[in-house]
Chain A
Amino acid sequence: MGLEQYKGDMDMCCRCSTCKFVPMQQVSGFQYANVCPSISKYDFHSYSGGGRLNIGASMLKNGFNYTHKLLDIVYNCQMCGACGVSCNYAMDMEVMAPITEFRIKCVKDGKTHPALDKIIAGLRKNDSMVPVTGKRGDWAAGLNLKDATKEKVDVLYYVGCLTSYDKKLQKLARSTAKILQKAGVDFGIAGDAETSSGGAAYEMGYEQDALDQAKKTMALIKQTGVKTVVASGAEDYQAIKVLYDKFKLKGDLKVLHIAQYIPQLIKEGKLEPKKNLELAVTYHDPCHLGRLGEPWVHWEGKKVPGDRFVFDPPKVYRRGTHGIYQQPRDVLKSIPGVKLTEMPRNKEYAWCCGAGGGVCDSNPEFAQWTAKERIEEAESTGAEALVTACPKCEKTFSAAIEANGSRLKVYDIVELVEQAIE
């Protein structure tokens, strides 16, 4: 069905422009009212969520005219989902789904971005979305972790490509593993057998590659026999939990993000953050853990003929309501000495880090522009550190901080927890 299935949704766009801003009730002033990086940077309405739907609806009707400008619009979007949240405050219509399908159609029609083609070529060759240096499990040297493909464990820790291979981010995998060890969780990793989750490929528009990866990953998980997967990357968490469910591949697998698992372990008395860290922080909600991370809702139905845009059975929209927002905040609040101050844009209407949708590869300058705005917003809270729960966010923010000479520090939540439980 592809884009066609969303014709009615795209036709619903009334061009009200709320997709450009945080939900109106949450507009806290002149600054930080914008929510969509793409329209904020490129200004033409075509770069907004609504503009994308208008273009999709028109091209379905009149044919696809792939101009250079059209592809610029398509690929300069982080697919962060913020437009959908703001729209769906008031409207009953799909927003992110048709935007995603439009990109998938571009790829199917061979209208790809060369930088993303390169990434996907690497994926096809190495099962990785990032350049492969060494072995996937090298980061675990000396930690004495179980190999879940060889030993039976309760929990599989899914590490992800970026954390596995990026030398600067491998510390996150080590912190996560140490936390799980400290809590006495019976877990293992898949080491070199782990493959890319495919989530990022899907957002880039390479649907078949994403599905191939999903099948490989689920086969691996089934092989290990675990019932629970814990991911430390938000993108992987979202892929396994939401995307795999969408494609009916997940089954009854329990998928947790580490920021969700830690409060559970604290509550069970298995972890106790004791060390005083004396740090003023603000928390950045990764899109894939927050608004994009809410569970998939399976629905099949038809529009009820007549005046209203309603369906039989009633359609439940994913409006960003049920993302993981509170647990990471609970974790931070549980650490002695950590003082959490919220940024103006938070939870379901958080500003994206800039890296999503392949933008960090297709247009690094745009990714950095987006990250810089978030850094400034974080600084406005008076925080010393920006805490997130996604390696891609951390990487993008770190680069922006370095480029802009900010004093802000960036941590993944596992780094602070590891320090606090030492």
Chain B
Amino acid sequence: MTLSKEVYAEFEDVVGPEFICNDPAIMPSYYATEFAAVILPENTAQVQAIVKLCNKHKVSFRPVCTGWTGKFQAGVVLLDLRRMNRIIEINEKNMYAVVEPYVITAQLQAELMKRGLHLNVKGAGTNCSAMLRGHGHLDQSTGGDDRNHLAIEWVTPAGNIVRSGSLGSSDEWFCGDGPGPSLRSILTSATPPGVTPGVFTRAAMKIYHWPGPTKFPIVGNSPNYALSEIPANFMTRYYSFPTMEKMWQAELKIGESEISFELMGFNVAMVAANITTSNEEEEAAFKRLSKEVQGPGFLIILAGNSAADFEYKKRVLNHIVNAAGGKSLASLEDPRTEGILMCQCIRISASIRETFRPGGAFSSIPVMGQRDLTIKWAIGAGKAKEPLIEKGLIVDDGGASFGWGVEQGHLGKTEIFCKFDPQNAVAKQAVQAWHDEQSARAFKERYFALLSPGQPEEIGKALSNYHVWWNKLQKELDPNRVSPEGGALV
């Protein structure tokens, strides 16, 4: 759908001619989709005006932030939120930060570290929006998902501005649940089912205590960054265990003892990716590390609030790991490698080296649920990867999955990747088949994975007809159906 000159002019009046474009030349950079136009709003008022125009002319819209590869329908108006990039407030006393969508996590994190504070970093990476809701390596110490969203300013699909939580009754952002409308069940996430339609224009993110330096002492030139010294009372280790069961027991006890700053159930392929600067190095490191580990494992970062606290945490960790038969990966104890991994995991959240670098694309199935059960599912999904690895269709990662416990660790996230070359049609097809089969198996075993469009209905039937209620809500919120699924932050 193309916009008529008159309609285009109406949008142009909102943002000015510099910030709207429908030239075909720019479309390949926006997901190779023929958007009706790409618009760059500057503030909530402009977003609202654009959304109202979309309703008036029955034009669909989608918002996007930094945005990895995405799928969009042609004819949609794309709201690139790049100009909405302000940190509105860092409230040290009440431990929250209010940001607009295009503040990236690395920016907010750096500002917070200067103030002895920190935030949950999502697995997507610090190059993504700080407002993104989801899970990350810090889930044990910060919680994940909706734990970290407080009050939210939301432009609904109909173009109304809704302010949730404390913002609904005052100008305060400190709480997502009141005094004022909670809307927690509506203001959800970018992951189906239950993607919030409309646009989040500002959100308060919960922030946490940071016992580390105001800035990491990085030396070297990219990509060979290292730390000149390991910060006081910090330690990074990778432990492998004789069995998955033992690993999970250790993970659970670490969660219960609340000693970890960051716990990430990396497989060794991911460790290899994060400590190396090229694909060739990574492949060699993976082979080397695979021989050093005794079985599945996790990476843990301890951060002591004092020397005594650090010693205590180390003692508890050693006790738990020893009891589970865990073994530290000796080659990662080298301070240089330890520092690389520490900084990489805290300041970047790993991400690109372990996902896109090897082949150019990856397919992922994340499942939430009770960790011991989802791990069992992931073992099956890993085994199903092995034929693809043998045929050379996907990158060899030993068929491993990864994941971590959230908070005390009983519940958590388990995820598995297939990394492949998207230009290889055979590989692409094989990975899609694997994804469909394993997602279906997850659903059958009652873990709710990231499903394809249409499947939320299937989930809904298993969850008190959730989808029926969600569809009714969507109809009320989006009477003109201008905000298709996937409308929240990316």
Collect the chain A residues with CB atoms within 8 Å of residue B40's CB.
Answer: 43-44
Please name the residue on chain B nearest to A325 by beta carbon.
B221
Interface contact A69-B28, CB-CB below 8 Å: no
Collect the chain B residues with CB atoms within 8 Å of residue A30's CB.
Answer: 87, 103, 107-108, 110-111
Interface contact A307-B280, CB-CB below 8 Å: no
Chain B positions 332 through 360: 1 when the CB is less than 8 Å from some CB of chain A, otherwise 0: 00000000000110011001110111111
User: Is the CB of B139 closer than 8 A to any CB of chain A?
Assistant: no
Interface contact B19-A43, CB-CB below 8 Å: yes
Interface contact A309-B279, CB-CB below 8 Å: yes
Chain A positions 44 through 85: 1 when the CB is less than 8 Å from some CB of chain B, otherwise 0: 111010111011011100000101111001000000000001
Please name the residue on chain B nearest to A17 by beta carbon.
B66
Of the listed stretches A7-15, A120-128, A267-275, chain B binds A7-15
Collect the chain A residues with CB atoms within 8 Å of residue B28's CB.
Answer: 54-55, 57-59
Please name the residue on chain B nearest to A68 by beta carbon.
B23
Q: Which of A13-32 contact B (CB under 8 A)?
A: 14-18, 20-21, 23-30
Of the listed stretches B164-172, B307-315, B418-426, chain A binds B418-426
Of the listed stretches B52-60, B196-204, B392-400, B450-458, chain A binds B392-400
Please name the residue on chain A nearest to B422 by beta carbon.
A11
- The number of residues on chain A lying at the interface, defined by a beta carbon within 8 Å of a beta carbon of chain B, is 62
User: Is the CB of B225 closer than 8 A to any CB of chain A?
Assistant: yes
Question: Residue B23 contacts which of A43, A69, A305 (CB distance < 8 angstroms)?
Answer: A69
Interface contact A24-B394, CB-CB below 8 Å: no
Chain A positions 376 through 420: 1 when the CB is less than 8 Å from some CB of chain B, otherwise 0: 000000000000000000000000000000000000000000000
Interface contact B222-A321, CB-CB below 8 Å: yes
Complex CA gap A52/B28 in Å reads 9
What is the distance, in angstroms, from A105's C-beta to the closest C-beta of chain B?
Answer: 14
- The number of residues on chain B lying at the interface, defined by a beta carbon within 8 Å of a beta carbon of chain A, is 73
Complex CA gap A30/B83 in Å reads 14
What is the distance, in angstroms, from A306's C-beta to the closest C-beta of chain B?
Answer: 5
Interface contact A307-B392, CB-CB below 8 Å: yes
Complex CA gap A310/B355 in Å reads 15
User: Is the CB of A101 closer than 8 A to any CB of chain B?
Assistant: no
Interface contact A307-B103, CB-CB below 8 Å: no
User: Is the CB of B127 closer than 8 A to any CB of chain A?
Assistant: yes
Complex CA gap A360/B427 in Å reads 46
Interface contact B67-A15, CB-CB below 8 Å: yes
User: Is the CB of B125 closer than 8 A to any CB of chain A?
Assistant: yes
User: Is the CB of B283 closer than 8 A to any CB of chain A?
Assistant: yes
User: Is the CB of B267 closer than 8 A to any CB of chain A?
Assistant: no
Given A25-B347, A308-B395, decide whether A11 and B23 contact each other with a Cβ distance below 8 A.
no
User: Is the CB of A349 closer than 8 A to any CB of chain B?
Assistant: yes
Q: Which of B29-54 contact A (CB under 8 A)?
A: 29-32, 38, 40
What is the distance, in angstroms, from A178's C-beta to the closest C-beta of chain B?
Answer: 32
Given A67-B24, A307-B358, decide whether A43 and B83 contact each other with a Cβ distance below 8 A.
yes
Complex CA gap A48/B396 in Å reads 32
Chain B positions 400 through 420: 1 when the CB is less than 8 Å from some CB of chain A, otherwise 0: 000000000000000000011
Question: Residue B38 contacts which of A18, A44, A70, A319 (CB distance < 8 angstroms)?
Answer: A44
User: Is the CB of B472 closer than 8 A to any CB of chain A?
Assistant: no
User: Is the CB of B459 closer than 8 A to any CB of chain A?
Assistant: no
Interface contact A320-B222, CB-CB below 8 Å: yes
What is the distance, in angstroms, from A236's C-beta to the closest C-beta of chain B?
Answer: 23
Q: Which of B66-85 contact A (CB under 8 A)?
A: 66-69, 80, 82-83
Interface contact B358-A308, CB-CB below 8 Å: yes
Complex CA gap A12/B360 in Å reads 5
Residues of A within 8 A of B (CB): 8, 11-12, 14-18, 20-21, 23-30, 33, 43-46, 48, 50-52, 54-55, 57-59, 65, 67-70, 73, 85-86, 88-92, 305-310, 314, 317, 319-323, 325, 347-349
20 contacting pairs across A/B (C-beta < 8 A): A14-B356, A21-B127, A24-B347, A27-B104, A30-B103, A30-B107, A43-B19, A43-B40, A44-B80, A48-B29, A59-B28, A88-B222, A89-B225, A92-B279, A306-B421, A307-B358, A307-B394, A307-B421, A308-B358, A308-B359
